[in-house]
């Protein structure tokens, strides 16, 4: 759908479309986490701002007791040539531009590395409006991708290595994990567990079972999920059912549309 709309637009309008697509995805991710979470386990702060300048810290912060998740949501869609072609340099260049940094500034993990460093700088930490970070002991950089490349094998390992290039762990006052890369579908499934489990604990178990970060989240056993059992993300399921009922009503007016 993305590329169909993109090709139908005049070239001068495509950049705006890409920007709006990204904003819509960011709003969706924040809504999904907020609607799915028990606030005592996972308290979300969407679009938090620094106290000194009012600049946005990241797309959302998630407090999980003494842990803090910094999340960036990227709605970028990768070209088929980069993902399925035979030139690995094209894939690398798209990953770098869309998830690490472009000519203007950091993107994705580049943004996360900079923001974690600023918030927990040993010498001059930056305060966040409405959030006390004094009791935080561990920070989790989290990148959520709309494109399913976020769930591909080795992508997390590659971006973790790039994060290490950009981030000085000795400059911060808390433990910082490698970045966790999740596709939108990964997140939709994880959100089924956020009323019973801490997001930070789920990510910790993932890292414990794959120190190299070479697999995706759902390719590994997770003791917390195994203990809880299978769960459905109800806000996602309800919204999906409502959407398809609306489509059916539009296409077949007067017909009965069940659940």
Quick one: three-class SS letters along 49-99?
EECCCCCECCCEEEEECCEEEEEEEECCCCCHHHHHCCCHHHHHHHHHHHH
Helix axes 11-36, 234-251, angle to 10 degrees: 130
**Is 99 inside any structural domain?**
yes
Helix axes 155-166, 88-99, angle to 10 degrees: 50
* CA–CA dist 233, 70 (Å, integer): 22
CATH number of the CATH domain containing 139:
3.40.91
**Is 240 inside any structural domain?**
no
**Is 64 inside any structural domain?**
yes
**Is 110 inside any structural domain?**
yes
**Is 237 inside any structural domain?**
no
Q: Which residue has the tokens 């930056």?
A: 126
Which tens digits make up the pLDDT trace of 193-233? 999 999 999 999 999 999 999 999 999 999 999 999 999 99
Q: Which two tokens stand for residue 20?
A: 């709006």
C-beta atoms surrounding 135 within 10 Å: 9
Beta bridge partners of 131: 128
Angle 212-213-218 from CA coordinates, rounded to 5°: 140
Which tens digits make up the pLDDT trace of 40-99? 999 999 999 999 999 999 999 999 999 999 999 999 889 889 999 999 999 999 999 999
For residue 104, the model assigns a pLDDT of 67
Which tens digits make up the pLDDT trace of 148-192? 999 999 999 999 999 999 999 999 999 999 999 999 999 999 999
Please give, one letter per residue, the 3-state secondary structure of 147-195: CHHHHCCCHHHHHHHHHHHHCCHHHECCEECCCEEEEHHHHHHHHHHCC
**Is 143 inside any structural domain?**
yes
**Is 166 inside any structural domain?**
yes
Q: Which two tokens stand for residue 81?
A: 């040539």
pTM value is: 0.92
Which tens digits make up the pLDDT trace of 133-143? 999 999 999 99
Residue 213 makes CB contacts below 8 A (sequence gap 6+) with: 156, 157, 160, 178, 180, 207
Backbone φ and ψ for 256, nearest 5 degrees, come out as -75, 130
**Is 234 inside any structural domain?**
no
CB 147 within 8 A of CB 78: yes
Comparing C-alpha atoms, which of 46, 75, 76, 51 is closest to residue 61? 46
Range(s) of the domain holding residue 132:
2-228
The count of structural domains within the chain is 1
Q: Which two tokens stand for residue 34?
A: 């907020």
pLDDT at 15 over 90: no
């Amino acid at each position: 759908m993305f590329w169909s709309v993109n090709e139908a637009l005049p070239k001068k309008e495509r950049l705006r479309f890409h920007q709006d697509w990204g904003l819509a995805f960011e709003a969706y991710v924040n809504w999904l986490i907020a609607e799915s979470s028990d606030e005592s386990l996972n308290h979300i702060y969407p679009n938090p701002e620094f106290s000194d300048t009012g600049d946005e810290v990241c797309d959302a912060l998630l407090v999980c007791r003494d842990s803090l998740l910094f999340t960036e949501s990227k709605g970028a869609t990768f070209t088929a040539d980069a993902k399925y072609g035979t030139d690995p340099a094209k894939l690398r260049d798209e990953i770098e531009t869309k998830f690490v940094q472009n000519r203007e500034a950091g993107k994705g993990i580049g943004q996360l590395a900079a923001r974690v460093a600023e918030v927990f700088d040993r010498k001059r930490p930056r305060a966040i409006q409405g959030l006390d970070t004094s009791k935080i002991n561990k920070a989790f950089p989290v990148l959520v991708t709309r494109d399913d490349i976020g769930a591909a094998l080795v992508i997390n390992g590659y971006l973790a290595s790039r994060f290490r290039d950009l981030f000085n762990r000795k400059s911060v006052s808390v433990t910082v994990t490698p970045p966790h890369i999740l596709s939108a579908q990964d997140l939709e499934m994880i959100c089924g567990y956020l009323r019973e489990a801490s997001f930070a604990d789920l990510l910790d178990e993932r890292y414990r079972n794959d120190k190299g970060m070479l697999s995706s989240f759902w390719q590994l056993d997770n003791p917390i999920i195994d203990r809880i059992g299978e769960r459905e993300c109800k806000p996602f399921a309800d919204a999906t059912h409502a959407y398809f009922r609306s489509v059916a009503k539009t296409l077949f007016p007067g017909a009965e549309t069940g659940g």
